[in-house]
Amino acid sequence: MIILKDKHHCCGCSACNNICPKQAISMQEDIEGFLYPIIDDNKCINCNICIKVCPILNNKKENNLSAIYGCKNKNIEEQKKSSSGGIFSLFANYILDNNGVVCGAAYNEKWEVIHKFIDKKDDLDNLRRSKYVQSNINNTYTQARKFLKGNKLVLFCGTPCQIAGLKNFLNEDYENLYTMDFICFGVPSPNVWKIFLKQNFDINNINLINFRYKEFGWDNFYLKIQTRSKNNLLNLCKNFHNTLKKHLIKLLNIQYFFSRYYYLSFFKGFLQSLFLRPSCHTCIFKGVQRCSDITVYDLWGVKDIAPELYDINGISGLNINSEKGRFLFEKIKTNLFFIFLDYNQVIKNNPRFLTSSESHKKRNEFFKRYQTENLNKLINTLLGERWLLLKILKAVTKRVQKFKHYK
């Protein structure tokens, strides 16, 4: 059986939970809000299958990077609905058009992030857009195997460790399986996200959350939260730190809340690695070799790498890692604007492709206090305002330089 001595050695992929023949393994939340396997000794038969499927204990990177593209969806509406260039939608559409199923991260009714399958295009919007919280895989690996054995085409999208967990769970190279991962900064605690929402919003009044609202430009991170009624949004401002209140974007519509990412405590903590999963700081799924067929990501630095491709509605980087990935790309490329890119230029602007995020020095202190204190105040106290001021200064400097350029 799996004996977890160090939480850095568990990515929470749930492969062990999905594979156990006696349902002796349950995924339970620890004090930080992350899921870990718990063994029921009364049910366990010591078959050790859980050890064999663990992607950290058995890291099988089978695919190698063969090509890198910068690209965007020709369908502007699909591009706008996505976090970056709208590439996921094209791959998903191909699978769904061929009577297949697609699995990815979605919100449940409590605005928690879970993995789920869809088989209709009408449901595709549930899987679009980035969700900066660790998703709960639930039993989707088991569901994937049933679909694959039933000869359904399957596209499974997740973090690199989730794809590795799926591959180990299946332990078979299904021709009808296509996998997609992304360049991962690290996954924040689901419980921190839950507390952030609870302290600042009426969860029952929310009907839309968009971590990457692009009305102000793809490369300007904005959070958008839409409510069913007009209550609570004005009260929301009272919950934020005084300094932050001065910088909150004005409410453009009383039923919508918008804010630049660096004014919000959750984003500040996320981007400074204050509450990422421990395994994210020693991630073994980085690098050129991948378990996935395709890797997608925001093409940061596109203005330097390929300025002719820049689009305010979003640009994607696309890595082809296998023959299956090449096959899918050939099927959808007529719906893309794309160019070949140089590996070194792309990696320079997307360093998390190769390296893990470093843990914040106050991470332990945060998790000792986060359940009993106001989250906004705690994060701003631990991180201070220096980071925020530097971000604002950088944004202002950028605008001044642009003004000088056009003057």
Taking the C-alpha atoms of 121, 126, 127 and 128 in order, what is their torsion angle to the nearest 10 degrees? 90
State in Å, rounded, how far the first CA of the chain is from the last one. Answer: 68
Residue 344 lies in a domain: yes
Q: Are residues 71 and 184 in the same domain?
A: yes
Q: How many other CB atoms are found less than 10 A from the CB of residue 144?
A: 25
Residue 358 resides in a domain: no
Say yes or no: 46 and 182 in one domain.
no
CATH code at 171?
Answer: 3.40.640
Residue 181 falls inside a structural domain: yes
pLDDT tens for the chain, 407 residues long, are: 677 778 999 999 999 999 999 999 999 999 999 999 999 999 999 999 999 999 999 988 888 889 999 999 999 999 999 999 999 999 999 999 999 999 999 999 999 999 999 999 999 999 999 999 999 999 999 999 999 999 999 999 999 999 999 999 999 999 999 999 999 999 999 999 999 988 888 788 888 899 888 888 888 878 888 877 655 554 444 444 444 444 443 443 444 565 665 568 898 899 899 999 999 999 999 999 999 999 999 999 999 889 999 999 999 999 999 999 999 999 999 999 999 999 998 988 899 999 999 999 999 999 999 999 999 899 989 987 665 566 566 666 665 555 444 44
Instruction: Write down the pTM of the prediction.
Output: 0.88
**Domain containing 47: what range?**
7-53
In a domain, 286, yes or no: yes
Quick check: is 364 in a domain?
no
For 309-324, write each residue's pLDDT tens digit: 999 999 999 999 999 9
Same-domain check for residues 176 and 236: no
CATH number at residue 16: 3.30.70.20
How is residue 282 written in tokens? 């020693």
Q: How open is the CA angle 295-296-300, to the nearest 5 degrees?
A: 125
Contact 124, 110 (CB under 8 A): no
The secondary structure of 138-198, three-state, reads CCHHHHHHHHHHCCCCEEEECCHHHHHHHHHHHCCCCCCEEEEEECCCCCECHHHHHHHHH
Residues 382 and 260 in one domain: yes
Residue appearing with tokens 């639930």: 138
Per DSSP, 250 falls in state P
How much is the pLDDT for 164?
96
